[in-house]
Chain A
Amino acid sequence: AQSVTQLGSHVSVSEGALVLLRCNYSSSVPPYLFWYVQYPNQGLQLLLKYTTGATLVKGINGFEAEFKKSETSFHLTKPSAHMSDAAEYFCAVSDRELTGGGNKLTFGTGTQLKVEL
């Protein structure tokens, strides 16, 4: 079974500071990894994803994440936080293939990012 652990349910940073949201995963097969952002009362927007190839993945809005297999991690970073980054962020893992159980996304519990002036 796959699982995702997001360390820190709430993270607060100053505007212009580095954003680091942590995600560790567990998977018995090579995973797909995702970061989604959710603004209040809205659905999920894909920030970035790792499927194959380069382990440093760049996404929208200046975010990036690095897949580290040895650490089973996929931490999300942004060099300089902006007020508009305040939202909830979800890390998710999925199988690569449509197995009998479906290639569902397994989400972490989310990290609420607060950006302060």
Chain B
Amino acid sequence: ETGVTQSPTHLIKTRGQQVTLRCSSQSGHNTVSWYQQALGQGPQFIFQYYREEENGRGNFPPRFSGLQFPNYSSELNVNALELDDSALYLCASSLTSGTRKTAYGYTFGSGTRLTVV
């Protein structure tokens, strides 16, 4: 059973640039969520994708966008980077199953450390 893998592990970008972070879900998981963890804080929910559609979003502006692919891998895109976007970005995969769409498991990747200068 493979875990959740994220790439790259570290990234340095300049303010105003765009960045794409990637996540490969755990085998068998069909739902992916992205979280932002600023230094010294708990992770904050950015958005979630289920069946390739966004299914829930936190308090993040539209310049944070995402994609989920048929193989359940995912991307997080951030446009017009700001200094406050510097954080650890975590991807988590889970399994949504059944008519009530019950959620099972939340497995996190090791994260991508983004530094905006």
Contact A102 B33 (CB under 8 A): yes
Which secondary structure dominates chain B's binding surface? strand
> Could you say which interface size class chain B belongs to?
20 to 34
Residue A41 lies at the interface, judged by CB distance under 8 Å to chain B = yes
Query: Which of the segments B11-19, B66-74, B75-83, B108-116 contacts the partner chain?
Result: B108-116
CB < 8 Å A-B pair total: 79
Contact B55 A100 (CB under 8 A): yes
Residues of B participating in the A interface, judged by any CB pair closer than 8 Å = 6, 31, 33, 35, 41-45, 47-48, 50, 55-58, 88, 90, 92, 94, 96, 100-104, 106-111, 113
| Sample of 15 more A-B contacts, CB < 8 Å, known A102-B48, A109-B42 | A43-B111, A44-B92, A44-B108, A46-B106, A51-B104, A90-B42, A97-B101, A97-B103, A98-B31, A98-B55, A101-B56, A103-B48, A103-B94, A105-B33, A110-B42
